[in-house]
Structure 1
Amino acid sequence: MDRRKLLSWFGLGWLVSLLPSSLLGCSESTPSNTSSSPAKSAPESVAAAPSGNFKAIGTVAQLDKDGSLVSSDKKIAVVRDPKDKTKLLAVNTTCTHNNCAVLWKSDKKQYVCPCHDAEFAADGAVIAGPAKKPLPTYAAKIDKDQVVVSA
């Protein structure tokens, strides 16, 4: 084998070894939230509830008193649906623009990011930017006197 052929084989091997990392670099690093399913994975640090794969966030009385519930790790917020008070809406509180923690504004019935004023509906949908992606959502329900969120 001559030197030119040997170098071309090394070059080809080098290119092939870069292919997997190049393909990974082109893919999304986080899953997209374009699914219509309301159930997403919850952070593991939410306190466990006795009902299957749901985790307790707080009591119904506390939700009704405060207007919203936030998990102990401050990653999940639950509010009553402004359009249907019998339904609960749970979202991840991390802003999809710059990872700041959004806050529920009960007077506006929306979440607001204190960092850049992004606004999100109660169901996590973007109302005003700079955020472009909605907040991830979770399935939430009332189990006995507890508000529980899917995990």
Structure 2
Amino acid sequence: MKRRDFINWVGLGWLASSLPIAIAACSTQTTASGDWQNVGTTAELDKTGQLLVENSPVGSVLLVGTSKSGNLIAVNPTCSHKGCTVAWEAANKKFACPCHGAEYGVDGTVQKGPATKPLKTYAAKIEGNSVAVKPS
């Protein structure tokens, strides 16, 4: 075997063995489906009655409620139509998309198009001074 062929094989072997590490480093981190993840504090939630966390371990989360109400609503606020961030309309008790007018109920179901898919929902709970969510 020539020196050049040997070096090419060693280089190819190194590249092939490094590929799984590169893929793992570039992929998004996922959590186990049953894990509760802290996304904020009760003080942050109580300040306005809602808490938007864009980079939580479970993805984007919009929590609605207060620590005293005991009835927390948690959804992924990304509109299923075009990806805009929905807002909570407390007076109408619905989520509304500012981009194209889609509306969602408190359970994430579509109430008005153009969206056809519901918002992803989360189970939410208060643990001490922390707010935690997990995929439903």
Q: State the TM-score, normalized to the length of structure 1.
A: 0.58
Structure-1 separation of matches of 2:94 and 2:53: 18
Q: CA deviation at 1:78?
A: 0.8
Matched, 1:58 2:40: yes
Structure-2 separation of matches of 1:91 and 1:60: 17
Structure-1 separation of matches of 2:29 and 2:65: 23
Structure 1 unmatched runs, 5+: 1-42, 46-51
* 2:65 partner letter: R
Identity of paired residues, percent?
A: 44
* 2:62 partner letter: A
Q: CA deviation at 1:44?
A: 4.7
Matched, 1:87 2:71: yes
Q: CA deviation at 1:140?
A: 0.9
Task: Report the counterpart of residue 113 of structure 1 in structure 2.
Answer: 97
CA contact (8 A) 1:57 1:72 kept: no
* 1:143 partner letter: E
Q: CA deviation at 1:105?
A: 2.1
Structure-2 separation of matches of 1:79 and 1:111: 10
In the alignment of these two chains, the number of paired residues is 101
Deviations 1:13-50 (A, max 9, x none): xxxxxxxxxxxxxxxxxxxxxxxxxxxxxx859xxxxx
Structure-1 separation of matches of 2:129 and 2:88: 22
Structure 2 unmatched runs, 5+: 1-27
Task: Report the counterpart of residue 131 of structure 1 in structure 2.
Answer: 115
Task: Report the counterpart of residue 36 of structure 1 in structure 2.
Answer: none
Q: State the TM-score, normalized to the length of structure 2.
A: 0.64
Structure-2 separation of matches of 1:44 and 1:141: 22
Structure-1 separation of matches of 2:60 and 2:29: 10
**Of 72, 87, 102, which aligns to 1:103?**
87
Compare relative contact order (CA 8 Å, sep 6+) and give the higher one, 1 or 2.
1
Q: 1:44 to 1:69 in 2, by over 3 A?
A: farther
Task: Report the counterpart of residue 77 of structure 1 in structure 2.
Answer: 62
Deviations 1:116-151 (A, max 9, x none): 010112221211111111101111111111111116
What RMSD, in angstroms, separates the aligned Cα atoms of the two structures? 2.5
